[in-house]
Amino acid sequence: MKRYSIVFCLLISSIVASQSLPDLYSQVKSSVVVVHIVSIAPKIAESNVSLLIKSSQGSGVLISEDGLIWTASHIVQTAELVQVEFLDGDVYEAEVISSNPLADVALIKIKKDFDLKEKKVAIIGDSDTLKVGEDIFVVGAPYGLKQSISRGVLSGRHIPDSLSNDFKNIEYLQTDAAINLGNSGGPLFNMKGEVVGIISSIYSASEGFSGIGFAVSSKTAKALMEKPTFWTGMHVILITENIAKALNIPQKSGLLVLTVSSKGIANKIGLRGGAIDATIDGVSLIIGGDIILDFAGIAIDTLNYRSLIEKKIQQSVKGDTIPITILRQGRIIVIKLKKEYGL
């Protein structure tokens, strides 16, 4: 009798593990949302300053009944307005709770206390158990085509030496599943219907899909979101060498502020974005904004400056003032960040 019980259990496990893709898609599709973004950036053209209003979208996945949604940082980083659209057509306004541009993962939350019990909450899986070669699938809104699905395999795992956050390694899962503009922030599922990654980017020489896509692993996303990173609301780029020289930076490197959301901490402390499109040393930039040189005594050209800055913020207490040295229109000035802005 015991022998038959074992055989029966193995049979059941085999059936569960071999669910068809259509069945899995049906189970998880309503947890996937379209993330609509409105952002604003100043532009200078023929000596006139105007505001450029941009609409864009990405994808996300509902991970709790109280409206928490995983998405990609680069989608919401400088957003003025965030809305999420569910499969049933319901649209809700959301706010950015946490954003980690280095790992490209963000957490947003539906603003009001709506009853979301009828919405499907995704199950977060353990990305460590996923083996290279295993089947996976992606659900999102590529080019605005809502609830699109693509299938592939886990092609590899990558932990770039240059990427860490508070000394935690950031892991990316590589896949050949079709990923295109609009998929960013959407979930990568294993064949149990569990979220094992958040879509981040593709590698492409033509800006189109070429069979190499990347997702932040669920293990990385969970670790970073357990200790939320405050939302700066600004898009910055590290500039070095020829670009640093062209912009007259008085050190080896700095952080050029490209765009700033009025809703984030950067705007509250007075940081300014740029307004002039330029190409320097083959790199397309928006120049004219502030260049961050130093944060609380930590020079931006210091090795592991990101982790040192995060550690400095964690060690400070409410009411502390943190000086930030910036280069603004040829002048070096200091602005102050108070430990009050949700840090």
Active site residues: 74, 104, 184
Residues linked to residue 268 through DSSP beta bridges, in sequence order: none
Burial of 282 (0-12, 13-18, 19+ CB in 10 A): exposed
User: Nearest CA to 84 among 58, 53, 102?
Assistant: 58
Residues linked to residue 35 through DSSP beta bridges, in sequence order: 58, 84
> CA quadruple 215, 219, 225, 230: dihedral positive or negative?
negative
In whole angstroms, what is the distance from residue 198 CA to residue 169 CA? 16
CA 309 to chain centre: 19
Phi/psi at 298 (5° precision): -100, 110
C-alpha distances out from residue 236 to 182, 274, 298, Å: 22, 10, 17
